[in-house]
Amino acid sequence: MRALDWAADEAALHNLPLRIVHASLWERFEGTTPAEDLPEARAEVAALEKIIIDAEARARQRRPEVRVHAEVLPGEPVDVLVHAGEYAFALVVGHRGHHALVRRLSTGSVGPGVAERAWCPTVVVGDFAPGLPSGNRQVVLGVGEGTDADAAHVAFALHEAHARGGVLVAVHALSRQETRHDPPGLGSPAADALLSAAVPARTALESGVVVHRHVVDGPAHHALLQAAQHADLLVLGVRHRHGMVHRELRPTHHAALRHSPCPVTLALRRARLRASRIATAVPPRPATRTT
């Protein structure tokens, strides 16, 4: 429900329609449509209708100004959502991953699975992440080595910061190699140059966003999670694995998905930017065979 609320707020923030999608496995195991004369089929249909009706009603009540469309689509959840979000502004999913036991049980859950395959920016909202609006109005951008100034995840972070009327905090954690090569007592000129290249002053000025650049000595996930304590959104860039359709999620990405106190966006560092006008969200699944 937090993911649904966040998606409704995001759609209102960017003046976008909201598409709510629920993936059902019934058609895969029971045929094209459930036979409504069977008691279990009637219960399944009723459960599907309740999920989608409740989700749509919740979104409309939270953001009456947003155009909302809800639907049930047949198929595996990850496949359905990746396809549904192909031309979306963003794909919003929920994820339970803070507790150690839950982490072990959710290794193959929908949230991380979608984040590994989606082409559009994927926002993962943990069950502990607060919803909008927030008084912080900060967007944190993780900047790794070799980040290009025109990277899609940088553009997305600037867009989100601008929509919130806040600031963008660009964070780069020094690697061991960078630490060895930097002159003692002079900070990290190379890291400063990297941050300036990732978010140029001219680009920030044109977007109307105030940018703070921080170089941190230590593990990347520690630096990002610390910065995310005061943020509305944490944005990380990912690359596609060579010759594969999956994204290359590294330990830093998984740590952010599991522990971030705010929603996490994974966006391709180089993506085919599309003129999309839809935000897609996913309601939670009930304790039935539907998912």
Q: If you average pLDDT over residues 148-160, what whole number do you get?
A: 80
Q: What pLDDT does residue 264 have? A: 94
Q: Give the residue extent of every domain in the chain.
A: 2-128, 138-268
Residue 196: pLDDT band (50, 70, 90) is confident
CATH class, domain 2-128, is: alpha beta
Lowest-confidence region among 13-27, 112-126, 225-239, 272-286: 272-286
Q: What is the mean pLDDT of residues 120-146?
A: 77
Mean pLDDT of the 66-79 span:
92
| For residue 211, pLDDT beyond 80 | yes
Question: DSSP readout, the chain?
Answer: -HHHHHHHHHHHHTT--EEEEEEE-HHHHH-SS--TTSHHHHHHHHHHHHHHHHHHHHHHHH-TTS-EEEEEEES-HHHHHHHHTTT-SEEEEEE--SSHHHHHHTTT-HHHHHHHH-SS-EEEEETTPPPSP-S--EEEEE--TT--TT-HHHHHHHHHHHHHT-EEEEEEEEPHHHHHHSPTTS--HHHHHHHHHHS-HHHHHHHT-EEEEEEEES-HHHHHHHHHTT-SEEEEEE-BPTTSSSB---HHHHHHHHH-SS-EEEEESS--------EEE-PPP-SSS--
Checking if the pLDDT of 254 tops 70, the result is yes
* Confidence at 287, pLDDT banded by 50, 70, 90: very low
What architecture is the 138-268 domain classified under in CATH?
3-Layer(aba) Sandwich (3.40)
Write down the pLDDT at residue 151: 76
Sequence-separated (6 or more) residues with CB below 8 Å from residue 126:
2, 94, 95, 96, 97, 98, 257, 258, 260, 263, 264
Proportion of the chain above pLDDT 90, given as a percent: 34
pLDDT at 102 over 70: no
Contacts of 176 (CB under 8 A, 6+ apart): none
Do the first three CATH levels of 2-128 and 138-268 match, i.e. the same topology?
Answer: yes
* Window from 4-13, 57-66, 266-275 with minimum mean pLDDT: 266-275
Mean pLDDT of the chain, nearest integer? 78
Q: What is the pLDDT of residue 71?
A: 92
Q: What is the pLDDT of residue 284?
A: 52
Query: Residue 186 has what pLDDT?
Result: 40
